[in-house]
Amino acid sequence: MKKCIVIGGGFAGLTSAAYLSKAGIEVELLEASPKLGGRAYSLLDKDSGSVIDNGQHIMLGCYKDTLRFLKMIKAESNLIYQNKLKVNFLKENFKLMPLEAVTSLYPLNLILAVLNYKAISIVDRLRILRFFSKLPFTSSKNLKNLSVYEWLEKGNQNDRINEAFWKILAVGALNTNIHKASAEIFSYILKEIFLNGNKSASIILPKYGLSETYCEAARIFLEKNGGRIILSERVLELKFKDFKVIEIITDKRNIFEFDYLISAIPLFALKNIKSEIDFATDLELSYSSILSIHIWLKENNFDELFYGLINSKLHWIFNHNDHVTLVISDADKYIEKSKEEIFKIFSEEFEQYTGIKKEGIVSYKVIKEKRSTFVPANDMLEKRPDTKTLIKNLFLAGDWISTGLPSTIESAVKSGRVVADKIIEELNSE
């Protein structure tokens, strides 16, 4: 039986390990931390007893690889599925402005959702629809050197529309402001979400904490298929011979017996592994941060699972019943501030939009993800490497690999599935 070592226990590593073990390949997954999940995990808050995520993650109906993976490991029941698109947007003083597909008849439902979106004038709503009408005929080649902002400007979208619609969508999907983000990759996302039927635009949320949602199910699936997961073991160095990895040195042992190696860790972590051959570590990526502020309220009167905020420094509010989570994407300007300063800024914003004063907040936790995602700028996209490296038995996986997607769960899962497919195909051709 062939054996594969997988470095990294996030979505990419767990996906590749699951597909390989299902195909009858012996898999050993090494994770440096004492938990699975990578940058998408949950933890128990000891003070409140609540399970909180390191960062809130939204999935969409168009996340085909993610949904296929979760179904395979029998975790699809751990999700909350919208039947059709509905987002409750908020203006100041808790003015609800829903974007809702009120019928199931596609694409009429999406057209009506935009036409009924009262956060902007009817003239601006028609501008959005005209923009969408051109989307099926938009070539990615014509967008290669444009930012999202430049593309929107060419499409007759103004600042009012950007603040109430495009910024919320683009910053949420790309974790980068619209002046930096690539129009090419944003156009791909829009086509995937809005041009593939009803389910593609519907939002999917984890029913439980992230670790409970998928990590445990992936562990059980992997072990049932003969795989092993080793936590708290860090890879320090790789040794090569004839352009093959022949030895993996960890902080606990030296590993010689394996046929393939998959690195499924972020680029910045990969750079910390000593290597005689430079196979991807010369690449430089810029990163964007995300802030999550978990808040426990004296009284939680929110009716919806989540809200998007219009023209606010605060982007999303997620309702977990026992607590709420405030999410700030593209948060670089705040990330170095103290947790007390961050809470002051965003509790005031929270009050302005919801009416809930600081006196109504029992406690809070601030979680910073400084390198949450890479910046999907035009010059970065062409530099993303393929899963196959110049090392014969070494493959790469992760949301930063060349998947055609931004730094999302779907990108990570897709990379894991693609690398497993390549190894299986290679073995079948022998």
The domain made up of 287-374 has a fold known as: Polyamine Oxidase; Chain A, domain 2 (3.90.660)
pLDDT, one tens digit for every residue, the chain (430 residues): 899 999 999 999 999 999 999 999 999 999 999 999 998 999 999 999 999 999 888 899 999 999 999 999 999 999 999 988 899 999 999 999 999 988 778 889 899 999 999 999 999 999 999 999 999 999 888 898 999 999 999 999 999 999 999 999 999 889 999 999 999 999 999 999 999 888 898 999 999 999 999 999 999 999 999 999 999 999 999 999 999 999 999 999 999 999 999 999 999 999 999 998 877 767 888 999 999 999 999 999 999 999 999 999 999 999 999 999 999 999 999 999 999 999 999 999 999 999 999 999 999 999 999 999 999 998 888 889 999 999 999 999 999 999 999 999 999 999 999 999 999 999 988 7
Cα–Cα dist 8/342, whole Å: 31
How is residue 40 written in tokens?
Answer: 């998408």
* Numbered ranges of CATH 3.50.50.60 in the chain: 3-61+66-73+207-285+377-428
* Numbered ranges of CATH 3.90.660.10 in the chain: 287-374
Cα–Cα dist 371/52, whole Å: 19
Which CATH entry fits the domain spanning 3-61+66-73+207-285+377-428: 3.50.50.60, 3.10.20.600, 3.40.50.970, 3.30.590.20? Answer: 3.50.50.60
